[in-house]
Structure 1
Amino acid sequence: MEFGQVPKQIFTHPHPRRMTGPPPALSSLDVCWRGIENLAVSAELPCHKSAVTSLCLSPDGRLVASVSYDCTLKIHNTVSATRERSVSLSSLPLTAVMMLHEGATVLAASMDSTLIVYDVECGRIVESVRGHEDAVSCLAWIAPSLLLTGSWDCCVRVWRLRKPLTCSRTGSSRSSIRAIKPASDLIAQLDHDARITALATNRLYTLLATGTTEGDVFLWSLKSFSIVKNLPGHKESVNGIDFSPDGTRLVTCSDDRTLKVFDLCTGTVVFSKCLVQKLKCLVWDGKTLLVGGAQGNIYLWDLVNVNLVKEFQAHTGAVLCICASDDGGVVITGGEDKKVKIWR
């Protein structure tokens, strides 16, 4: 169904009456990320030599980690826009990154099928272990010890780590150089028929959503590790996926140029919009959605009133990754143009 043809409300707020006058001012948007419609670039970091593939903010929003096809991890201070770490982690492109332990530890994924643990304080690689049979494409972390990894080998693996992902230092309580043991830590494997391109968990950590290169969208139980629903997905690769904060809805975007919102109680699509370019990434707070496109545009959607608030050029070439602080005060984008941009 297309914009303007939504048969029922997507969210708990009533669907607005048809307006005959001008649209409401942007400041009237009922969103958690207040002021996000006024985003502007505060810093531009030409930090990589190739396309930026993944980004992650530390919980306090002070640090941002980025990885790239140039095989490097970069860590920048978002306040001063200065580089704090730069390290080559692999001989093949890096595809995903997460910051753990308040930003003290970074977990990166590589196209050589490895998972790489980097300790920021120690400034060194703690571990590199083969986690899949093909490129690792996406990651998710459930504190304190559950790791989920998606791969081009068409499966998601669930790991329960028995030791902390930190480095070993004499006289310190931080220990355990060996953190991931495939033989003992792998507790489940969720098989698919196509390469995994995106995954996300709900906030209660009871559900996992996965997307594939074939456009499939699956909902899994993280208790039984079984499929709950096979959702009506996309015609091409799913590039972004996320749950609403209350866990009742799921949003996806795809190379087929569509973004979709699913009602997870019924498994139906309650909103679908086809845009003019392939959609590569997304981030949302359950009400306001930021979507990055293949032509460098970012779309800002108000999904309460179901309207496009703003569209602006962010990068030269595709916007490949995007993340935001919890309050929406800081948004980070990474692009095909090799740049990381900080927006406030």
Structure 2
Amino acid sequence: MEFGQVPKQIFTHPHPRRMTGPPPALSSLDVCWRGIENLAVSAELPCHKSAVTSLCLSPDGRLVASVSYDCTLKIHNTVSATRERSVSLSSLPLTAVMMLHEGATVLAASMDSTLIVYDVECGRIVESVRGHEDAVSCLAWIAPSLLLTGSWDCCVRVWRLRKPLTAIKPASDLIAQLDHDARITALATNRLYTLLATGTTEGDVFLWSLKSFSIVKNLPGHKESVNGIDFSPDGTRLVTCSDDRTLKVFDLCTGTVVFSKCLVQKLKCLVWDGKTLLVGGAQGNIYLWDLVNVNLVKEFQAHTGAVLCICASDDGGVVITGGEDKKVKIWR
């Protein structure tokens, strides 16, 4: 199937009536962050020499990995706020990071187009391979073996990796390439791993099938770069934020925008549980939104300069932010 074609059938249920009001309430099965409106800084880690570009928590929330324009990976204990690893992984800035295998393995992406596998326990790089023709900008992992990489070469690549991750072979491990017309800036998968959402520097937002690797929907995106994108836990909605200062919530059955808000600063990152949304801004603010009642709960200064990345534990008990001010902050 060629780029731009829509498969004959993706959804087996009729499309619901278009919604113009607030997003629908979520089911009791969805994750709920309790007490997140009371977040306060528990530790401040001045750990990098340049802007922090990406963060990732280990599944148990005990470790946080951060990467930076300073080309280094840092791993900290979120409980003791102590450093456990510090290593230079590349000669060019690092752009994205993920923790795999219960935190035992870190996968990082670089502006030199490489994917780097770091063994945390052994404290060494075990693989470095050129994954794209330009900078690798974002990553996603589908256990047990699928890796998705987005790049400035205007494509998303899907890889099927083998254990151990010490011999990535592009010729045999690359199983799909999803071409776009602009640089990829953000990507996310739903929890069933059936759908992929991608965002570009031109503001495009696409929904892809991870079964056929074809476009499901071209959503009404943004006017500038999409910097954050994520699915609700139940997979019915998608949230995005952009340099055009807007955040949007899409109903994925209809492909329509059910909520849109323009704020006063460019929006650089987001994380949500389907109900509560945290958005980081270019002027250092974090916005806390209740997307059930559609209201801004709280706005506070988190960093000096842009909040470039944010992540949270499943229960919302730990939130980590990284900024243009070179700092990583732990919030509880």
Would the TM-score normalized by the shorter structure come out above 0.5?
yes
Is the Cα–Cα contact under 8 Å of residues 324 and 330 in structure 1 kept in the other structure? yes
3-state DSSP of counterpart to 1:183: helix
Deviation, 1:187, is 0.3
Deviation, 1:329, is 0.2
Map 1:190-201 → 2, pairs under 5 A? 190-201=178-189
**Which residue is equivalent to 2:40?**
40
Is the Cα–Cα contact under 8 Å of residues 280 and 287 in structure 2 kept in the other structure? yes
Normalising to structure 1: TM-score of the pair? 0.88
- What do residues 11-47 of structure 1 show as CA deviations (whole Å, max 9, x unaligned)? 9999999999999999999981100000000000000
Deviation, 1:164, is 2.3
1:296 paired to 2:284:
yes
Deviation, 1:287, is 0.3
Is the Cα–Cα contact under 8 Å of residues 15 and 253 in structure 2 kept in the other structure? no
Deviation, 1:2, is 36
Is the Cα–Cα contact under 8 Å of residues 302 and 309 in structure 1 kept in the other structure? yes
3-state DSSP of counterpart to 1:125: strand
Is the Cα–Cα contact under 8 Å of residues 2 and 272 in structure 1 kept in the other structure? no
Deviation, 1:3, is 35
Cα distance in 2 for residues equivalent to 1:203 and 1:27: 15
3-state DSSP of counterpart to 1:132: coil
Cα distance in 2 for residues equivalent to 1:25 and 1:202: 18
Deviation, 1:162, is 2.5
Is the Cα–Cα contact under 8 Å of residues 6 and 270 in structure 1 kept in the other structure? no
Is the Cα–Cα contact under 8 Å of residues 319 and 336 in structure 1 kept in the other structure? yes
Deviation, 1:131, is 0.1
3-state DSSP of counterpart to 1:28: coil
- What do residues 284-338 of structure 1 show as CA deviations (whole Å, max 9, x unaligned)? 0000000000000000000000000000000000000000000000000000000
- What do residues 109-136 of structure 1 show as CA deviations (whole Å, max 9, x unaligned)? 0000000000000100000000000000
3-state DSSP of counterpart to 2:27: helix
Is the Cα–Cα contact under 8 Å of residues 16 and 305 in structure 1 kept in the other structure? no
> Compared with structure 1, are the counterparts of its residues 37 and 267 closer, same or farther at alpha carbon in structure 2 (3 Å cutoff)?
same
Deviation, 1:180, is 1.0
Cα distance in 1 for residues equivalent to 2:215 and 2:301: 38
Gaps of 5+ in 2: none
3-state DSSP of counterpart to 1:27: coil
**Number of residue pairs the alignment of both structures matches:** 331
Cα distance in 2 for residues equivalent to 1:162 and 1:19: 44
Cα distance in 1 for residues equivalent to 2:256 and 2:285: 28
- What do residues 123-170 of structure 1 show as CA deviations (whole Å, max 9, x unaligned)? 0000000000000000000011000000000000000012322xxxxx
> Compared with structure 1, are the counterparts of its residues 20 and 261 closer, same or farther at alpha carbon in structure 2 (3 Å cutoff)?
closer
Cα distance in 1 for residues equivalent to 2:24 and 2:211: 44
3-state DSSP of counterpart to 1:85: strand
Gaps of 5+ in 1: 166-178
Is the Cα–Cα contact under 8 Å of residues 6 and 215 in structure 2 kept in the other structure? no
Is the Cα–Cα contact under 8 Å of residues 56 and 311 in structure 2 kept in the other structure? yes
3-state DSSP of counterpart to 1:277: coil
> Compared with structure 1, are the counterparts of its residues 226 and 9 closer, same or farther at alpha carbon in structure 2 (3 Å cutoff)?
closer
Is the Cα–Cα contact under 8 Å of residues 3 and 271 in structure 1 kept in the other structure? no
> Compared with structure 1, are the counterparts of its residues 182 and 193 closer, same or farther at alpha carbon in structure 2 (3 Å cutoff)?
same
Is the Cα–Cα contact under 8 Å of residues 10 and 304 in structure 1 kept in the other structure? no
Deviation, 1:340, is 0.1
**Which residue is equivalent to 1:215?**
203
**Which residue is equivalent to 2:57?**
57
> Compared with structure 1, are the counterparts of its residues 12 and 256 closer, same or farther at alpha carbon in structure 2 (3 Å cutoff)?
farther
Larger Rg computed on CA atoms: 1
Is the Cα–Cα contact under 8 Å of residues 242 and 266 in structure 2 kept in the other structure? yes
Is the Cα–Cα contact under 8 Å of residues 119 and 126 in structure 2 kept in the other structure? yes
Deviation, 1:200, is 0.1
> Compared with structure 1, are the counterparts of its residues 202 and 185 closer, same or farther at alpha carbon in structure 2 (3 Å cutoff)?
same
> Compared with structure 1, are the counterparts of its residues 91 and 29 closer, same or farther at alpha carbon in structure 2 (3 Å cutoff)?
same
> Compared with structure 1, are the counterparts of its residues 18 and 192 closer, same or farther at alpha carbon in structure 2 (3 Å cutoff)?
closer
Cα distance in 2 for residues equivalent to 1:146 and 1:30: 25
3-state DSSP of counterpart to 1:144: coil
Is the Cα–Cα contact under 8 Å of residues 57 and 64 in structure 1 kept in the other structure? yes
Runs of 4+ in 1 over 4 A off after TM superposition: 1-31
Cα distance in 2 for residues equivalent to 1:108 and 1:180: 14
> Compared with structure 1, are the counterparts of its residues 43 and 5 closer, same or farther at alpha carbon in structure 2 (3 Å cutoff)?
farther
Deviation, 1:104, is 0.1
Is the Cα–Cα contact under 8 Å of residues 118 and 124 in structure 2 kept in the other structure? yes
Cα distance in 2 for residues equivalent to 1:14 and 1:161: 36
Normalising to structure 2: TM-score of the pair? 0.91
Cα distance in 1 for residues equivalent to 2:229 and 2:27: 27
> Compared with structure 1, are the counterparts of its residues 184 and 11 closer, same or farther at alpha carbon in structure 2 (3 Å cutoff)?
closer
Percent of aligned pairs sharing the same letter? 100
- What do residues 187-246 of structure 1 show as CA deviations (whole Å, max 9, x unaligned)? 000000000000000000000000000000000000000000000000000000000000
> Compared with structure 1, are the counterparts of its residues 322 and 278 closer, same or farther at alpha carbon in structure 2 (3 Å cutoff)?
same
